[in-house]
């Protein structure tokens, strides 16, 4: 009976390997595609690498390859094909016709997962916007295709064009509506962001490839409550919590959506606002699965996205790399990465590295010391006496510094002890040197 209610899709996952691709990586790419299928709740019954020498315009794959797939679909009673690459609408349709099952590509798959996972209003709107943009981009392509076919028919619009034109108008209307709704939601979030900024709390943002362990670390460092799961894109929304620091002070830490290779452009655009929250961070924590054979490649991909949005060391934002899942490394490899991390820490740069296991907690205390050190690096603690004539300095210090002590002095003066960042200390000194004790 239950079989009728819970019908799990059985999929063939095909990873197209192009002749120029690093062939050794194909196995891992395929593994990731299987992970994506599972994140959607699909059973990846069959997974295979399909070598592509030349992409066929109409079907993507060669005819022999399609026959092989059809045979597997029959033999294993599959009802879906996932192509870990990008299909044109025509290729997708032709493959569906040839294979008699639903066919989706990598972008479609990721959009489905995001749709499934989005929990907040903003998340849902962002995914919907991405999906509509994806649909629209495919409409345009189909349209130019039809137009070419019809070439020479002059100004008489065929029925195809009228239909597509009206579809496109409808999509555009929907997109505009969603954008307006998103702006409303974002206004609220901007207010919260401004409040955080005003509160002068230091902000630490977690970034990293999906499944690297960001949420596990977040929960370990805070009171928790974020879903951490062996599932790609377990987290889609940004959460903020208080991060207690070793000295007894605190900061704010945020957990957010993970990155992935070839993130559909529609998604990057829609999630830009979420990603851009990392810009407000005083320090970025880049969580990496150091046991992942593709760790280095994924690091580059994350750094690329950070660069695109203007975050990271190239933009003067310090970054600490968290080399996570050290427990999965053999002892000798662990020693090697330990010494590499130590070297990164001793070289004066904007990049530090700590080897940890967020699962066992090993190394996390050292990491926290490093975070606090990075947050307060260059800070100055100043004793200041604000005179009534220079009273604007009082508000400025509250706004830009962390006021540790404050007491009224004689003659309307105020005595303050303030912690300021290096640059704010410089600004204050150049303007109010006489107020500094
Ligand atoms: N062995 C091991 N597993 C870990 C460690 N840290 C996290 N994991 C596991 O890795 C998986 C992914 O962890 P998450 O914290 O959900 O990863 P994430 O980076 O938040 O992933 P997304 O939200 O999907 O982007 C979970 O199954 C964790 O239990 C670790 O130090 N060692
Ligand atoms: Mg997460």
Point out the domain boundary residue: 86, 114, 142. 114
Model pLDDT, residue 126? 86
Of all ligands present, the nearest one to the C-alpha of 226 is 2
107 and 28 co-located in one domain? yes
H-helix or E-strand containing 335?
Answer: helix 331-346
In a domain, 151, yes or no: yes
Give the span between the Cα atoms of 302 and 313, in whole angstroms. Answer: 13
Mutate to test the pocket of ligand 1, among 110, 207, 213 (most ligand atoms within 8 A of CB): 213
Mutate to test the pocket of ligand 1, among 225, 228, 299, 360 (most ligand atoms within 8 A of CB): 228
For 188-247, the pLDDT digits (tens) are 877 877 776 666 678 899 999 989 999 999 999 987 666 677 767 666 667 888 899 988
Residue range(s) defining the domain that contains residue 161: 118-183
Asked if 30 and 47 touch (Cβ cutoff 8 Å), the reply is yes
Point out the domain boundary residue: 91, 114, 137. 114
47 and 106 co-located in one domain? yes
Mean pLDDT in residue range 165-180 = 90
Using the mean position of ligand 1's atoms as its centre, give its distance from the Cα of residue 213 in Å.
3
Does the pLDDT at position 319 exceed 70? Answer: yes
In a domain, 192, yes or no: no
List of residues 6+ apart from 201 with CB closer than 8 A: 250, 251, 252
Model pLDDT, residue 200? 67
Confidence of residue 422 (pLDDT cuts 50, 70, 90): confident
H-helix or E-strand containing 179?
Answer: helix 159-198
In a domain, 84, yes or no: yes
Ligand 1 pocket at CB < 6 A: 208, 210-216, 228-230, 232-235, 258, 324-325, 327-328, 357-359
In a domain, 27, yes or no: yes
Using the mean position of ligand 1's atoms as its centre, give its distance from the Cα of residue 227 in Å.
10
385 and 372 co-located in one domain? no
Using the mean position of ligand 1's atoms as its centre, give its distance from the Cα of residue 300 in Å.
19
Of all ligands present, the nearest one to the C-alpha of 231 is 1
Asked if 278 and 306 touch (Cβ cutoff 8 Å), the reply is yes
Ligand 1 atom at minimal distance to the Cα of residue 230: 27
Ligand 1 atom at minimal distance to the Cα of residue 235: 23
Give the span between the Cα atoms of 268 and 309, in whole angstroms. Answer: 10
Does the pLDDT at position 428 exceed 70? Answer: yes
Give the span between the Cα atoms of 416 and 382, in whole angstroms. Answer: 8
Ligand 1 atom at minimal distance to the Cα of residue 357: 31
Model pLDDT, residue 225? 62
Mean pLDDT in residue range 289-293 = 95
Using the mean position of ligand 1's atoms as its centre, give its distance from the Cα of residue 73 in Å.
33
Cα–Cα distance list, 244 to 105, 251, 282, 429 (Å): 43, 7, 15, 30
Cα–Cα distance list, 171 to 72, 177, 372 (Å): 37, 10, 48
Report residue 9 CA to chain centroid gap. Answer: 27
Using the mean position of ligand 1's atoms as its centre, give its distance from the Cα of residue 75 in Å.
35
Of all ligands present, the nearest one to the C-alpha of 213 is 1
246 and 276 co-located in one domain? yes
**Residue located nearest, by CA, to atom 32 of ligand 1:** 325
Confidence of residue 116 (pLDDT cuts 50, 70, 90): confident
In a domain, 338, yes or no: yes
Strand 380-386 and strand 414-420: pairing? Answer: antiparallel
219 and 337 co-located in one domain? yes
Ligand 1 atom at minimal distance to the Cα of residue 328: 1
Model pLDDT, residue 172? 92
Of all ligands present, the nearest one to the C-alpha of 209 is 1
Asked if 359 and 373 touch (Cβ cutoff 8 Å), the reply is no
Using the mean position of ligand 1's atoms as its centre, give its distance from the Cα of residue 257 in Å.
13
pTM of the model: 0.78
Ligand 1 atom at minimal distance to the Cα of residue 227: 16
Using the mean position of ligand 1's atoms as its centre, give its distance from the Cα of residue 282 in Å.
24
Asked if 281 and 203 touch (Cβ cutoff 8 Å), the reply is yes
8 and 100 co-located in one domain? yes
Mean pLDDT in residue range 353-367 = 95
Does the pLDDT at position 370 exceed 60? Answer: yes
211 and 353 co-located in one domain? yes
In a domain, 218, yes or no: yes
283 and 220 co-located in one domain? yes
Three-class SS of residue 168? helix
**Residue located nearest, by CA, to atom 13 of ligand 1:** 213
Give strand ranges (E) for 129-255: 202-208, 239-244, 250-255
Using the mean position of ligand 2's atoms as its centre, give its distance from the Cα of residue 46 in Å.
27
293 and 409 co-located in one domain? no
Three-class SS of residue 13? strand
The tally of domains found in the chain comes to 4
Report the chain's mean pLDDT, rounded to a whole number.
85
352 and 234 co-located in one domain? yes
Q: Give the domain CATH number at 31.
A: 3.40.50.11060
325 and 429 co-located in one domain? no
Using the mean position of ligand 2's atoms as its centre, give its distance from the Cα of residue 221 in Å.
14
Q: Give the domain CATH number at 274.
A: 3.40.50.300
In a domain, 100, yes or no: yes
Does the pLDDT at position 5 exceed 50? Answer: no
Model pLDDT, residue 162? 66
Cα–Cα distance list, 175 to 12, 41, 169, 274 (Å): 33, 28, 10, 19
Using the mean position of ligand 2's atoms as its centre, give its distance from the Cα of residue 213 in Å.
7
Q: Is the model more confident about 95 or about 422?
A: 95
* SS3 per-residue string spanning 24-44: HHHHHHHHHHHHHHHHCCCEE
In a domain, 152, yes or no: yes
Three-class SS of residue 188? helix
Cα–Cα distance list, 18 to 35, 49, 51, 85 (Å): 21, 10, 6, 10
Q: Give the domain CATH number at 390.
A: 3.30.70
Point out the domain boundary residue: 79, 114, 149. 114
**Residue located nearest, by CA, to atom 16 of ligand 1:** 228
Q: Does ipTM surpass 0.95 in this model?
A: yes
**Residue located nearest, by CA, to atom 11 of ligand 1:** 230
177 and 325 co-located in one domain? no
Asked if 259 and 208 touch (Cβ cutoff 8 Å), the reply is yes
């Amino acid at each position: 009976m239950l079989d009728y209610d819970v019908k799990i899709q059985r999929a063939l996952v095909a990873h197209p390997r192009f002749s120029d691709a690093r062939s050794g990586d194909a196995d891992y790419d395929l593994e990731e595609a299987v992970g994506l299928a599972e994140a959607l709740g699909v059973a990846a019954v069959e997974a295979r690498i399909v070598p592509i020498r030349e992409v066929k315009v109409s079907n993507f794959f060669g005819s022999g390859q399609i026959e092989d797939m059809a045979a597997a679909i029959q033999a294993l009673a599959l009802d879906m094909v996932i192509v870990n690459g990008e299909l044109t609408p025509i290729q997708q349709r032709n493959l569906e016709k040839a294979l008699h099952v639903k066919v989706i590509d990598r972008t479609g798959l990721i959009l489905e997962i995001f749709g499934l996972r989005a929990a907040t209003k903003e998340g849902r709107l962002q995914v919907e916007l991405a999906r509509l943009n994806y649909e629209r981009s495919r409409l345009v392509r189909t349209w130019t295709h039809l137009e070419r076919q019809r070439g020479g028919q002059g100004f008489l619009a065929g029925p195809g064009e009228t239909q597509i034109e009206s579809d496109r108008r409808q999509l555009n209307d929907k997109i505009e509506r969603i954008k307006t709704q998103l702006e409303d939601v974002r206004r609220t979030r901007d207010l919260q962001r401004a409040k955080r900024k005003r509160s002068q709390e230091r902000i630490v943002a977690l970034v990293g490839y999906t499944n690297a362990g960001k949420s596990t670390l977040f929960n370990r460092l805070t009171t928790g409550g974020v879903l951490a799961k062996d599932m790609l894109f377990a987290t889609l929304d940004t959460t903020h919590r208080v991060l207690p620091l070793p000295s007894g002070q605190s900061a704010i830490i945020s957990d957010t959506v993970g990155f992935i290779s070839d993130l559909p452009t529609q998604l990057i655009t829609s999630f830009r606002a979420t990603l851009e929250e990392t810009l407000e961070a005083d320090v970025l924590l880049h969580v990496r699965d150091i046991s992942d054979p593709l760790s280095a490649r994924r690091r580059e991909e994350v750094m690329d996205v950070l660069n695109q949005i203007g975050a990271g060391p190239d933009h003067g934002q310090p970054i600490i790399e968290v080399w996570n899942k050290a427990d999965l490394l053999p002892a000798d490899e662990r020693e090697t990465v330990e010494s590499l991390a130590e070297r990164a820490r001793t070289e004066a740069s904007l990049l530090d590295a700590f080897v940890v296991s967020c699962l066992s907690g090993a190394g996390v205390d050292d990491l926290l010391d490093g975070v606090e050190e990075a947050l307060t690096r260059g800070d100055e603690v100043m004793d200041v006496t604000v005179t009534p004539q220079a009273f604007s300095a009082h508000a400025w210090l509250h706004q830009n510094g962390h006021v540790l002590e404050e007491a009224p002095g004689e003659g309307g003066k105020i005595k303050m002890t303030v912690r300021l960042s290096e640059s704010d200390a410089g600004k204050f000194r150049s303007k109010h040197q006489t107020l500094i004790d």
